[in-house]
A = this chain, B = another copy of it.
Amino acid sequence: MSKPHLNIRLLNDNKIAMGPGKAELLDAIMQFGSISAAAKSMHMSYRRAWELVDVMNNAFQEPLVISSPGGAHGGGAVVTDFGLHILKTYRDLISKAHSASSQELVVLTQSLKVTE
């Protein structure tokens, strides 16, 4: 379970171009330097992480992540400058959206049932 919260995603052509999971994955790739290590840190399968990267890279005009070949689960991976720019812009969007709607979010969350 998790506390009540807003989930804000950018959809394009019915696919999630950017969202909380993809943003977290970009952070993890930056931290760990490969898709497989990033996936592991998020308790996610390598295949799933690769799919998320693929959706992002195909949604935007430039790749957000560049990976180099090597090994069964690929070699290293880096978040590009373009990827950093998209990630920062997404986080700015989330931050501004939250600030502007905080009053309504309080009303909604206080109307929810309390979960144990």
Residues 68-103 of A contacting B (Cβ, < 8 Å): 82, 85-86, 89-90, 92-94, 96-101
On whether the beta carbons of B12 and A9 are closer than 8 Å, the reply is: no
CA A55 – CA B49 in complex, angstroms?
Answer: 29
Count of chain A residues with Cβ under 8 Å from any Cβ of B? 45
Please give the distance in Å from A45's CB to the nearest CB on chain B.
19
Partner among B3, B17, B86 whose Cβ is within 8 Å of the Cβ of A4: B17
Chain B residues with CB under 8 A of A30 = none
Q: Which residues of A come within 8 Å of B, CB atoms?
A: 1-14, 16-18, 58-62, 82, 85-86, 89-90, 92-94, 96-101, 104-105, 107-109, 111-113, 115
